[in-house]
Structure 1
Amino acid sequence: MDYENKILQKYNLCNRCYGRIYAKLMRMGNKDRGTSIKTVIAMNFEKKLKELFEEKNMIIESSTQTPLSETDEEKIKKIEEEIYEIQKNLTILRKTGLNGIKNEYIIEELLKDEIEEQKNEKNKDEDKKESKDDVENVDNTPLTPEQKCPWCKDVFNPENLEEISNKIVEALSEYEFDKFLIGTRLPKRMKELEKDLEVNFNESNMESLRNEFGRELGKILTNKLKKPVDKETPDIVVMVNPYNQKIYLQINPIFIKGRYKKTKRGIPQSHWDCRSCRGRGCEKCNFTGKQYPTSVEEIIAEPVMNIAKGSGEALHAAGREDIDVKMLGKGRPFVIEIKEPKIRKMDLDKITEEVNNSEGVEISNLEYGVKNDVRFFKNEPHTKTYCALVSIVEEKIENYNFEEESINELPEKLENLRIDQRTPHRVSHRRADLVRVRNVYKAWCEPIDNKLFKLTVYCDGGLYIKELISGDEGRTKPSISEILGVPCYCKLLTVMDVHDENNPANY
């Protein structure tokens, strides 16, 4: 505890701010705590003052018949110096908002000097932009203790809190939300002040002003908005600078998860900018800025964005299929993220119906999700089942026919096979050049003719099936081409299912 008053000698803190320094010590409001601590300190000072005055009087009274000795004069001098310092500290306590200090122990001139000093500082700050003639007309009314406080600058004044809360209510009026959170932004100088208090005065029990301000403003807004404060998953975070009343809204996104099927080839998963104009618009893309007319992402996002009125969107899925690959089965798990939505509650059945009326994409199981769903879908491994139409490279091998025996043996050779797959050439421009280890767990083969067969593979997610078939010039080992001893390629590929559990479907 600051019984020597060192903190208040450096900073004229009001009762609230002084109490905030010891926020973790006593269960009461900061203002009450600060008043209580200052009162205890003042009582100690007054007790000491009384003892010093009594000691001084005793020395004087004992020397009424004879002049004071040098020793006595030295004692009195030291006592007066100590009295002056204590009186100065009591003046500081009184000046920073503590009432009830005994005037008989205060040197009034000290108090006048301090008030005059505050007047001069106020005049200097307010008169920077005024002429010399105007300076004489400045109101010299002494500042209140709260206004003098260098930490809070009177930001807890009810009028200030009311003005800020009204601004926030107006700013939030165009957004739909159920829960909110107040965040406080402190100017750099206030952060430095707090750091000085915490480090140089070893005050580990201190609470930051941002916490108290957010708490007090949150109480007011809860009453006005009739909505609760939520520290874990707020829909909106209101960032406030209490010193200049500037407000910034952080509108948290909404997440809608489900599964999608792509029943038509030629549709990319996400939007592609035109390769020629890079999205600016040109003759080649018919000034749309797009390489392809639409995408899975755009088809799903359009009806959601029309309702939510967000500033942007992003599709997060459990993997991705090539533009020429279908996605069937139960569908691929996905999350659509809507950024800064104005509307958060939507009829998901109606959105499902609208998307399913489009050509090529179907969705199901729509429900609201959370941010962690994005991490789960992108990082959690999902096993997958693929179906490929495999053909030999006819121009390289003449008059070659698959032996039915080789085809029948292929599933056994692929079962529980480890595949070392270096990043394929076709995606090396956007993926790190690594060797990834994946596994084929089960395979089924069905000959179609002497140069064509159907291959169904149940395997780890992330295994490039086209390269598993071709070998990608030796970058995938082993490959179907290597096992059969003949160059093969994938004519058509379909994702039959993305599994939530490691249980292959029956084919």
Structure 2
Amino acid sequence: MMYEILKKYPLCDRCFGRLFAKLLHATNIERGRALKIYKLLEIEKKINKGEADENDYELLKAILRSGCNKTRLNMEIKKESCPWCRGIFEKDKIERLLNKAINLLKEYDFNTFLIGTHLPEDIKELEEEIKTEYMESIKQEFGREFGKLLAIRLNKQPDKENPDIVVHINPYTEEIYLQVNPLFIKGRYRKLVRGISQTIWLCGKCKGKGCEICNYTGKKYPSSVEEIIAKPIMEATKGKDEKFHGAGREDVDVRMLGDGRPFIIEIKEPKIRNIDLKKIEEEINKDGRVEVLNLSFAKRKDVIAYKNTPHKKTYRALVECSEKVSEEDLKKLERELENRIIKQRTPKRVLHRRADLERIRKVYKVKTNKVDDNHFEMIIYCDGGLYIKELISGDDGRTKPSVSSILNKPCICKELDVLKVHDNETGDINGRNE
């Protein structure tokens, strides 16, 4: 029976009501007190009629020990402390915890929060022992009730899905610490110059420590798209660290043009979240090497979408051929590569850091333009993940077919630009979205 638990554990009204939280639309205190009073009335009625047995008296004493002294019977039973809540909802304790949390939060600019309640192991074991089908954990109730009070004090909103900060509390030990969730900012970047990497590239020799080879910078390349974009954002947010997430990447010697490549920058443990993105956009674009477009706030789930969604690309390549190239050669190249499946093993130049796999990609359309006898321009619309330099050179037969194999003339890529990343849409040969 539901009341038998009181014989073993003198649960207070709140905790007894929590055992049946999903049955009656009332607070746990109201529910627990009502259930106890109902049973007291029943027992007192039986006693007055002389129908009470030993079990009734045992239950009567258990209810009185739990603090519900509503009977007219002349019984002096000392109230015992509740072994489940142990007074964590007492006003003085709640006030101490509120002040402690507010003091920790005062150095952060944020909009939403969530309470993360932590229970000692013996409380978890007790809950497991007395668990009912309709029970609510004390963890849920404390988080809900404390969250309401903190929201009023801070004039902030609780958010179960994407809180800016999680306030972790063990109400039994009064330990509190903060989990400051990352701030995500998305946009598109254009890399206007060659010679800078997308992300920070550590020196292969010292792995970032600094040595003679890297001129003690710890980096293989002096600058990156990541650093240029991150610097003003880190200054504005006072974040602890950052991570750059791009929808693919281009080589160091490749420009990213058109309307740019989608990216998300993740700012870890930001102290300030409400920042002027337009102002930051203008600050980044002063650099001249990298431009950002359409900065806006993002969510964690957007990172997964950027990483896992394949995007078709449109490229411009300047090709150099060791032999003369005719207009007929170029027309043949356009015909041969239209809607062509390309089998491509991992290029030799990246084998030291990538697995040796065969990739199947597709070229949808190619347009060519002759520059001189030994040079021509290609506009290539293809699947993402296709290595364009190797599509041109053939990479000693590791890419089939290739520009070199189709023309039967050794060719190399002299310049390469990304003209369009076709995210969420298809595209045409000119880099425009259809």
Q: Establish whether TM, by shorter chain, passes 0.5.
A: yes
Evaluate the alpha carbon distance shift between residue 428 and residue 96 of structure 1 in structure 2; reply closer, same or farther with a 3 A threshold.
Answer: farther
Give the match for residue 489 of structure 1: 412
Give the match for residue 62 of structure 1: none
Distance 2:130 2:391 in 1: 64
Aligned counterpart for 1:154 among listed residues 81, 84, 87: 87
Distance 1:505 1:450 in 2: 24
Aligned counterpart for 1:310 among listed residues 236, 239, 242: 239
- Residues 65-464 of structure 1 correspond to what in structure 2 (within 5 A)? 83-104=53-74, 111=77, 145=80, 148-198=81-131, 203-392=132-321, 394=322, 400-464=323-387
Distance 2:395 2:47 in 1: 92
| Structure 1 contact 17–152 (Cα < 8 Å) conserved | yes
Evaluate the alpha carbon distance shift between residue 196 and residue 428 of structure 1 in structure 2; reply closer, same or farther with a 3 A threshold.
Answer: farther
Q: Kindly report the root-mean-square deviation, in angstroms, between the aligned alpha carbons of the 2 structures.
A: 2.0
Cα deviation for residue 319 of structure 1 reads 0.8
Cα deviation for residue 431 of structure 1 reads 3.8
| Structure 2 contact 380–429 (Cα < 8 Å) conserved | no
Distance 1:214 1:427 in 2: 51
Aligned counterpart for 2:403 among listed residues 467, 470, 480: 480
Distance 2:22 2:408 in 1: 75
Cα deviation for residue 48 of structure 1 reads 4.2
Give the match for residue 29 of structure 1: 27
| Structure 1 contact 309–342 (Cα < 8 Å) conserved | yes
| Structure 1 contact 385–456 (Cα < 8 Å) conserved | yes
Report the 3-state secondary structure (helix = DSSP H, G, I; strand = E; otherwise coil) of the residue aligned with 1:264: coil
| Structure 2 contact 314–382 (Cα < 8 Å) conserved | yes
More helix by percentage: 1
Cα deviation for residue 303 of structure 1 reads 0.4
Report the 3-state secondary structure (helix = DSSP H, G, I; strand = E; otherwise coil) of the residue aligned with 2:158: coil
Distance 2:169 2:202 in 1: 38
What per-residue deviation string (whole Å, max 9, x for no partner) do you get for residues 12-70 of structure 1? 2111111001000001110111111122233333344455x45xxxxxxxxxxxxxxxx
Distance 2:187 2:266 in 1: 12
Structure 2 counterpart of 1:39, which letter?
I
Distance 2:161 2:16 in 1: 30
What per-residue deviation string (whole Å, max 9, x for no partner) do you get for residues 147-193 of structure 1? x2111111000111110011111111011112222121112222222
Evaluate the alpha carbon distance shift between residue 189 and residue 434 of structure 1 in structure 2; reply closer, same or farther with a 3 A threshold.
Answer: farther
- Of the structure 1 ranges 182-191 and 95-104, higher mean CA displacement relative to structure 2 is found in 95-104
Aligned counterpart for 1:502 among listed residues 422, 426, 429: 426
Evaluate the alpha carbon distance shift between residue 427 and residue 45 of structure 1 in structure 2; reply closer, same or farther with a 3 A threshold.
Answer: farther
Report the 3-state secondary structure (helix = DSSP H, G, I; strand = E; otherwise coil) of the residue aligned with 2:367: strand
More strand by percentage: 2
| Structure 1 contact 271–290 (Cα < 8 Å) conserved | yes
| Structure 2 contact 327–370 (Cα < 8 Å) conserved | yes
What per-residue deviation string (whole Å, max 9, x for no partner) do you get for residues 46-102 of structure 1? 344455x45xxxxxxxxxxxxxxxxxxxxxxxxxxx833332221111011111134
Distance 1:377 1:197 in 2: 46
- Of the structure 1 ranges 166-175 and 419-428, higher mean CA displacement relative to structure 2 is found in 419-428
- Of the structure 1 ranges 24-33 and 178-187, higher mean CA displacement relative to structure 2 is found in 178-187
| Structure 2 contact 186–296 (Cα < 8 Å) conserved | yes
Evaluate the alpha carbon distance shift between residue 487 and residue 12 of structure 1 in structure 2; reply closer, same or farther with a 3 A threshold.
Answer: farther
Structure 2 counterpart of 1:46, which letter?
E
| Structure 2 contact 367–429 (Cα < 8 Å) conserved | no
Evaluate the alpha carbon distance shift between residue 86 and residue 461 of structure 1 in structure 2; reply closer, same or farther with a 3 A threshold.
Answer: same
Distance 1:317 1:30 in 2: 49
| Structure 1 contact 90–101 (Cα < 8 Å) conserved | no
- Which runs of no fewer than 5 residues in structure 2 stay unpaired? none
Distance 2:11 2:352 in 1: 60
What per-residue deviation string (whole Å, max 9, x for no partner) do you get for residues 188-246 of structure 1? 22222222222xxxx11111111111111112112211122222332211111111111
Evaluate the alpha carbon distance shift between residue 429 and residue 159 of structure 1 in structure 2; reply closer, same or farther with a 3 A threshold.
Answer: farther
Cα deviation for residue 428 of structure 1 reads 3.7
Structure 1 counterpart of 2:374, which letter?
K
What per-residue deviation string (whole Å, max 9, x for no partner) do you get for residues 257-298 of structure 1? 111111111100001112121111223223222221111000
| Structure 2 contact 15–29 (Cα < 8 Å) conserved | yes
Aligned counterpart for 1:44 among listed residues 42, 45, 52: 42
Report the 3-state secondary structure (helix = DSSP H, G, I; strand = E; otherwise coil) of the residue aligned with 1:186: coil
Structure 1 counterpart of 2:296, which letter?
E
Distance 1:86 1:427 in 2: 81
Equivalenced residues, count? 430
Cα deviation for residue 390 of structure 1 reads 1.8
- Of the structure 1 ranges 208-217 and 359-368, higher mean CA displacement relative to structure 2 is found in 359-368
Distance 1:16 1:426 in 2: 68
Distance 2:133 2:404 in 1: 68
Structure 2 counterpart of 1:326, which letter?
R
Distance 1:35 1:426 in 2: 75
Report the 3-state secondary structure (helix = DSSP H, G, I; strand = E; otherwise coil) of the residue aligned with 2:53: helix
What per-residue deviation string (whole Å, max 9, x for no partner) do you get for residues 466-497 of structure 1? 12122233332222222222332222211112
Distance 1:188 1:475 in 2: 59
Distance 2:215 2:44 in 1: 87
| Structure 2 contact 365–429 (Cα < 8 Å) conserved | no
Distance 1:30 1:438 in 2: 61
Evaluate the alpha carbon distance shift between residue 355 and residue 43 of structure 1 in structure 2; reply closer, same or farther with a 3 A threshold.
Answer: same
- Of the structure 1 ranges 15-24 and 414-423, higher mean CA displacement relative to structure 2 is found in 414-423
